[in-house]
Structure 1
Amino acid sequence: GCGVPAITPVIRGYNRIVNGEPAVPGSWPWQVSLQRYDGFHFCGGSLISENWVVTAAHCGVRTTDTVVVGAYDQESPSPDEQRLTIEKVFKNPKFNMLTIRDDITLLKLATPARLSATVSPVCLPQATDDFPGGMTCVTTGWGLTDPN
């Protein structure tokens, strides 16, 4: 099923996004890297099915970019890594770069990701789902964010 990593993540402390902590390899199997034609990583996203990725509209993804799934270390390719072509970019037409409102884009993959222990989709909530205060939530990404 979605949202259940085959490799158990370790969640220590409750740091904010800035000064996060390294992940256990493969423990966030829906985390993708968005890369330009030259392999430059510019944004992250989440695999929501074998054919779809959700990311931020402010990333400015193009069909010439690549979705990398199954990666762990940006500096050394993983044996489970898949480099996938983007068929179509669906950027929210209401996105406003000045206010960063409606900051969402869907990416349709040209070929489906091969699902495995290190590549699987995250679950999307239903509109009626309720998340009580105090519930543990985790944000994943590709590195530290400068607080300045």
Structure 2
Amino acid sequence: QYNCEKRQEVKHISARIINGNEALPKHWPWVVAIYDSNDTLVCGGALIHEEYVITAAHCFVNQDAHEFSVLLGTTLRTNSSQCNNTPKDCNIQKKTTRKTEVPSKEDEEYHKASETQVICVGVESICTPIQNTCCLFMKDIAVVKLKTKVNYTDYIQPIGLPKNCEDPPASSTSYSVGWGRIFEYYD
């Protein structure tokens, strides 16, 4: 049984996205990476059920659901070549062997232990609100149905959602997780 209300392990957390910290396996087991058919990371998302992911609608503008796949069980910016399962239901056509991000020496063994946890699942369908106004970002949400259900592990778990649509207390802490830049660029 997994506790979807709490992260499983926490090593370090940054207060900022820019200059943030690398997330380690098990820190955010509901975070998924959404890839297109060219094996390119398009967006992040959150696993909300064994076959559903919630993400941003703008990730799929004018795209067919079958052009996307979801990678679960890793916090590294990786690709389908790292999938441990046979990705027969994966929608990635072009498999690449580019290197993943290199973890610090301190975390190297931790990442090696989690490499076998990465799985790839194809997208069956995408549900987005009708975008009938110019206020796209007010409706920038999508529910993605996976082709197959995933099994929960220490590395793959659903995010805990509030019961009865309750707002969190104003004093609660929020976190932002994703594969954005962890340092600032200057021209």
TM-score, with normalisation over the residues of structure 2?
A: 0.68
Does 1:23 find its partner at 2:60? no
Partner of 2:117: 80
Instruction: Say which structure is richer in helix.
Output: 2
Partner of 1:5: 7
Larger displacement relative to structure 2 (127-136 or 28-37): 127-136
CA distance in 1, matches of 2:150, 2:5: 16
- Residue by residue, what CA displacement relative to the aligned partner does 1:7-58 show, whole Å, maximum 9, x if unpaired? x12343522x333221122210000000011211010000001110000001
List runs of 5+ in structure 2 lacking aligned partners: 83-114
Identity %: 27
CA distance in 2, matches of 1:124, 1:35: 24
- Aligned CA distance change for structure 1 residues 138 and 98 (closer, same or farther; 3 Å): same
Cα RMSD of the aligned pairs, angstroms, is 2.5
State the aligned residue count.
Answer: 146
- Give the deviation of 1:64 after TM superposition: 1.7
Q: Bigger radius of gyration, 1 or 2? A: 2
Partner of 1:91: 128
Partner of 1:67: 70
- Tell me the amino acid that sits aligned with residue 13 of structure 2: R
CA distance in 2, matches of 1:147, 1:132: 35
CA distance in 1, matches of 2:125, 2:31: 19
Partner of 1:14: 15
Residues 32, 47 of structure 1: 8 Å contact kept: yes
Instruction: Say which structure is richer in strand.
Output: 1
Could you say what secondary structure the match of 1:63 adopts? helix
TM-score, with normalisation over the residues of structure 1?
A: 0.84
1:1-148 alignment, distance < 5 Å: 1-6=3-8, 8-15=9-16, 17-60=17-60, 62-75=65-78, 77=82, 78-94=115-131, 99-144=136-181
Residues 29, 155 of structure 2: 8 Å contact kept: yes
CA distance in 2, matches of 1:70, 1:83: 9
- Aligned CA distance change for structure 1 residues 58 and 97 (closer, same or farther; 3 Å): farther
